């Protein structure tokens, strides 16, 4: 509704328009639990008399203050939120220090922030909608994020009273989002970086870039930061408000230990450990039992078994009345050197587990690579013709072949007659036969009066043949296939 001047600074119902914007909200949420159905919700200016201020309407039918881009002076970058960078700036016409989150477009976050109002939720002032400049303008928390505070030296002075106060403030803000806001919201990215601290140390939940209306959370995309994310959010499964309870347990662990959750591990490593190995942050053995029990309940794998924030608030109220808890908790906080080794030992175990996984994963990748090569070779081989192509080299040779054959033969005949008394003649014959050498083998035993008739015949023949021949030489090179694997699995 451009051109309508802005007047006051709170959410109000207009009885003159009973079925206006409320109907749009009812359609947007699609839930019978929405109390604003059939009523109009008008967002008016927080500060009276903004020069040139106008209403704007989001895609979901929610009104918000539209702030001019040239009315903002930007200072330093305060860090990055979900889907945008956050800057400290000054809203000139109001002389107010603000936080400006730059966006690619005004989106769901404006729609959510414009209907929220709680002490522990960041206050929304308006949005900039001047292409290409789109941004959200909120109150500025001068002490920075809870994450930054817990990393500072000042945090070493924290006591049980401070921790309990902040635990209650965060739980109250989350309970408002889940149960008391005009439109029920699941944050999905609750972490210490998204909890900011005002000058008087009041905690406020901010950065709703990953948030969704409760009725629109059947299936969620992967958003958030892994160490704080519930298993079902990591897996992009249907979620409920108890995914925020899981994240709350991690923030509570941060306040008690002043340590970074899963320090030294990459996001995907944490995701694998939480989902596949069901690993959780280490709770030191000396941690007060009431805090340890609350964190364990928040980290249960089954979402329905986790406490809702109404029960978390009841638990914190009960703990605040425990007279022994302050002494137990302060002793725990002051003896960090004694129990920090437990956290470090767990981190080393998880890192080793992850390294073993990485090694096995690399082996599987290499094996898969070899199998793909083998499969490709088989595919190529199956597409080849039955007879592989050949490369030939042909040469011819003309030559003459000559063959000569020669044969010799010797024939001998011997007739011996031996009368009864031939001893003298036999001796003569024996001498003659000895002269013949080894021609007669074996030698006969000579007797007297032997008559010998011998005949020898020698034959010889020789032949010669010549042939003309033609020889052809052909060299073939056939394509072949080679593949080997050293895999011994």
What residues are annotated to the active site? 189
Cα-based distances in Å from 435 to 97, 415, 439, 451: 146, 17, 9, 17
Report CA 256 to chain centroid distance, whole Å.
31
Indicate the helix (H) or strand (E) that contains 195. strand 195-197
Q: How far is Cα 177 from Cα 181, in angstroms, rounded to an integer?
A: 5
Give the CA diameter of the chain: 176
Q: How far is Cα 17 from Cα 81, in angstroms, rounded to an integer?
A: 37
DSSP summary character for residue 191: S
Q: How far is Cα 68 from Cα 93, in angstroms, rounded to an integer?
A: 10
Contacts of 117 (CB under 8 A, 6+ apart): 10, 11, 123
Per residue in 259-297, is it b (16+ CB within 10 Å) or e — as a string?
bebbeebeeebbbbbbbeeebbbbbbeebbebbbebbeb
DSSP string over 161-220: HHHHHHHHHHHHHHHIIIIISSS-EE-S--SGGGEEE-TT--EEE---TT-EEGGG-SS-
For residues 384 and 438, the answer to whether their CB atoms sit within 8 Å is: no
441 three-state secondary structure: coil
């Amino acid at each position: 509704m451009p051109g309508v001047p802005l007047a006051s600074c709170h959410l109000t119902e207009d009885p003159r328009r009973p079925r206006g914007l409320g109907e749009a909200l009812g359609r947007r949420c699609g839930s019978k639990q929405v109390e604003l159905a059939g009523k109009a919700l008008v967002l008016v200016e927080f500060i009276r008399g903004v020069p040139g201020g106008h209403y704007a309407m989001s895609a979901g039918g929610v009104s918000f203050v539209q702030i001019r881009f040239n009315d903002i002076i930007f200072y330093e970058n305060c860090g990055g939120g979900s889907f945008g960078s956050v800057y400290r700036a000054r809203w000139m016409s109001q002389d107010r220090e603000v936080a400006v989150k730059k966006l690619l477009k005004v989106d769901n976050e404006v729609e959510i922030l414009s209907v929220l109002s709680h002490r522990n939720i960041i206050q929304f002032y308006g949005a900039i909608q001047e292409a290409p400049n789109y941004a959200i303008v909120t109150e500025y928390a001068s002490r920075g994020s809870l994450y930054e505070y817990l990393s500072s030296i000042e945090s070493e002075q924290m006591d049980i009273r401070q921790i309990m106060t902040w635990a209650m403030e965060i739980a109250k803000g989350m309970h408002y989002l889940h149960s008391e806001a005009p439109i029920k919201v699941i944050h999905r990215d609750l972490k210490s970086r998204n909890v900011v601290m005002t000058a008087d140390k009041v905690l406020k939940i901010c950065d709703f870039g990953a948030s969704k209306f409760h009725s629109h959370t059947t299936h969620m995309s992967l958003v958030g930061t892994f160490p704080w994310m519930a298993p079902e959010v990591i897996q992009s499964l249907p979620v409920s408000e108890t995914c925020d309870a899981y994240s709350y347990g991690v923030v509570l662990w941060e306040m008690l230990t002043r340590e970074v959750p899963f320090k030294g591990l990459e996001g995907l490593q944490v995701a694998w450990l939480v989902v596949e190995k069901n690993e959780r942050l280490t709770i030191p053995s000396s941690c007060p039992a009431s805090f340890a029990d609350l964190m364990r309940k928040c980290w249960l794998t089954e979402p329905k078994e986790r406490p809702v924030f109404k029960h978390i608030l009841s638990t914190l109220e009960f703990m605040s009345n425990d007279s022994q808890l302050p002494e137990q908790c302060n002793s725990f906080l002051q003896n960090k050197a004694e129990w920090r080794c437990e956290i470090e030992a767990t981190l080393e175990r998880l890192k080793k587990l992850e390294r073993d996984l990485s090694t096995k994963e690399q082996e599987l990748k290499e094996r898969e690579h070899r199998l793909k090569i083998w499969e490709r070779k088989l595919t190529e081989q199956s597409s080849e013709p039955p007879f592989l192509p050949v490369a030939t080299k042909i040469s011819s040779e003309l030559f003459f072949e000559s063959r000569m054959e020669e044969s010799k033969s010797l024939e001998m005949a011997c007739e011996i007659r031996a009368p009864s008394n031939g001893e003298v003649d036999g001796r003569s014959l024996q001498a003659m036969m000895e002269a013949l050498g080894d021609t007669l083998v074996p030698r006969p035993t000579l007797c007297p009066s032997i008559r010998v008739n011998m005949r020898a015949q020698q034959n010889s023949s020789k032949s010669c043949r010549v042939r003309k021949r033609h020889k052809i030489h052909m060299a073939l090179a056939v394509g072949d296939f080679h593949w080997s694997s050293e895999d011994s699995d």
